[in-house]
């Protein structure tokens, strides 16, 4: 659609070692230093030695918040969205000056990290005042780091109640992935380090893709036990054929335009934008075949990075946030609700909000990463941190298995996570204080050309990594239809 966008000509990287340089008080510069095999520590540095940096890594303040009173939650969410906007602006400044920063890390400290830290301090002071908390300024410093360097937190941020989000999810997308993905992570990629970056210049890279045929089967389903709710309920809400997109996120950033800094596909409720309240959603039109389901289902769009500009090339959430390429309408979207392998389920409360996955998992670490990637005909092989290369005739599949345990009280929480949880991956049981609810399973299929060349939208600094994929859901079933859904699951029936 529209104009042709040229592929980035960013210099190819040669990486041999990662070195961390601590720069006084302001932050950390992560450096990739070229060194030949024959070069000793006493030898003079080669003329071509450069620092190769890829992204800005900032602490995720939302994951560190205490309980947020409802009276200030909206204000806190807007302040958090402002932090995201500050990072986006800083990333653009970094991208515009990348070569100079790579040759002069002190310039990056002075021009990127110090101003960003000062901006974040102001926001954090306001949040601390709202929450009547001591100083939160320790969360202000950010770092510049390389694409292939592990997050400073080691991937330990914010585990989820009831077993964590990367622990298996009731036999869904990522069981066994940590142990099973290694067989294929480099398959068919020739290492990936010398490949061109993505069309926007900030990813993905060839090393973010893997041939699905080189991945070992890794899906394990928990055993069904006596008392399980074995039914299924399918709601048909289309494939976003009418092209409803926006870069808002009414769950994470209510009242903030472009709160996501990437574009979402929407099916179901058509009233969803940053300013939609529960009443707006209750009155909103729906694309769902059963009009009793006015729920909203949304996820980052997938783009084909083929050099073609989309209509949003100059818009927020699109080209302005370094998300470029042709948005792909899914070939198929399946929305199933399934039961618990060990018990009956109880109804979801209306307006329950659930986020699965982590839009910032590349810098946060994978504690909350959850989306799975695969190919039709190979769905017993699921990937979390790689995009699949599917063989000819096979289609790309994204799967989101949402949390299936609810705390019985809240429709949302301060970090939008702790009011829901995953069941234990081994036993299928909810943790103490949580009860089983219908589990939403989204399966989204795309017919894209085989091989690298596609990516999900992301925050600019997340480099379009597959591990940042995520899905959002707000339950707006009417009472009668929710009762029918629960009955179908608990009675072992297949309903639609």
69 pLDDT higher than 60 = yes
Cβ-based neighbours of 452, under 8 Å, separated by 6 or more: 204, 206, 208, 209, 387, 389
Percent of the chain with pLDDT over 70: 80
pLDDT one-digit tens code per residue, 436-452: 999 999 999 999 998 89
Q: What is the DSSP string of 345-396?
A: --PPPTT-EEEEE-TTHHHH-STT---EEEETT-TTS-BSSSEEEPPTT--E
Q: How confident is the model at residue 239 (pLDDT cuts 50, 70, 90)?
A: very high
Q: Average pLDDT for residues 394-410, to the nearest whole number?
A: 98
* Four-point Cα dihedral 141, 144, 150, 156, nearest 10: 20
DSSP 44: P
Q: Residue 120: helix, strand or coil by DSSP?
A: helix
pLDDT at 221: 81
Q: Are the beta carbons of 368 and 158 closer than 8 angstroms?
A: yes
In terms of Cβ atoms closer than 10 Å to its own Cβ (0-12, 13-18, 19+), residue 287 is buried
SS3 443: strand
Does pLDDT of 210 surpass 90?
Answer: yes
- Give the whole-angstrom CA distance, residue 222 versus residue 171: 6
The closest alpha carbon to 162, from 404, 440, 467, 470, belongs to 404
Rg value, the chain, Cα: 22
pLDDT per position as a tens digit, 121-178: 999 999 999 999 989 999 999 999 987 777 765 444 433 333 334 433 333 333 333 3
Q: How many CB atoms lie within 10 A of CB 315?
A: 17
């Amino acid at each position: 659609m529209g104009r042709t966008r040229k592929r980035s000509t960013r210099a190819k990287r040669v990486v041999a070692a990662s070195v961390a340089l601590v720069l006084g008080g302001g932050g950390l510069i992560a450096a990739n230093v070229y060194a030949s095999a024959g070069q000793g520590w006493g030898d003079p540095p080669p003329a071509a030695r450069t620092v190769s940096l890829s992204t800005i890594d900032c602490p995720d303040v939302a994951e560190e918040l205490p309980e947020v009173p409802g009276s200030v939650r909206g204000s806190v969410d807007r302040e958090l969205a402002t932090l995201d906007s500050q990072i986006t602006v800083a990333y653009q400044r970094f991208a515009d000056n990348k070569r100079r920063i790579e040759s002069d890390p002190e310039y990056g400290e002075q021009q990127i990290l110090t101003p960003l830290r000062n901006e974040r301090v102001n926001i954090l002071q306001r949040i601390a005042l709202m929450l009547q908390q001591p100083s939160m300024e320790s969360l202000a410093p950010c770092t510049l780091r390389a694409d292939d360097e592990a997050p400073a937190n080691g991937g330990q941020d914010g585990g989820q109640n009831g077993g964590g989000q990367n622990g298996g999810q009731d036999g869904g997308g990522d069981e066994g992935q940590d142990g099973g993905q290694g067989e294929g992570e480099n398959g068919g990629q020739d290492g990936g380090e010398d490949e061109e970056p993505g069309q926007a210049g900030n990813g993905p890279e060839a090393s973010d893709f893997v041939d699905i045929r080189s991945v070992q089967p890794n899906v394990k389903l928990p055993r069904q036990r006596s008392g399980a709710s074995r039914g299924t309920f399918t709601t048909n809400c289309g494939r976003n054929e009418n092209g409803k997109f926006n870069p808002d996120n009414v769950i994470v950033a209510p009242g903030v335009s472009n709160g996501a800094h990437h574009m979402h596909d929407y099916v179901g409720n058509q009233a969803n934008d940053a300013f939609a309240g529960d009443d707006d959603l209750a009155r909103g039109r729906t694309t769902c075949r059963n009009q009793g389901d006015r729920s909203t289902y949304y996820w980052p769009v997938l783009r084909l990075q083929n050099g073609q500009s989309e209509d949003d090339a100059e818009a927020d959430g699109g080209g302005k946030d370094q998300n470029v390429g042709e948005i792909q309408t899914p070939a198929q979207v399946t929305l199933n609700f399934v039961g618990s392998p060990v018990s009956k389920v109880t109804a979801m409360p209306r307006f329950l909000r659930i986020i699965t996955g982590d839009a910032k998992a590349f810098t946060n670490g994978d504690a909350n990463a959850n989306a799975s990637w695969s190919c039709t005909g190979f769905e017993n092989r699921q990937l979390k941190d790689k995009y699949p290369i599917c063989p000819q005739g096979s289609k790309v599949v994204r799967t989101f298995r949402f949390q299936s345990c609810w705390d019985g009280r809240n429709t949302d929480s301060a970090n939008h996570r702790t009011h829901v949880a995953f069941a234990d991956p081994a036993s299928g049981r909810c943790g103490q204080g949580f009860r089983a609810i219908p589990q939403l399973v989204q399966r989204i299929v795309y017919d894209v050309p085989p091989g690298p060349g596609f990516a999900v939208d992301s925050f600019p600094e997340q480099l379009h990594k597959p591990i940042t994929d995520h899905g959002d859901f707000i339950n707006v079933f009417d009472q009668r239809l929710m009762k029918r859904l629960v009955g179908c699951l608990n009675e072992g029936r297949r309903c639609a």
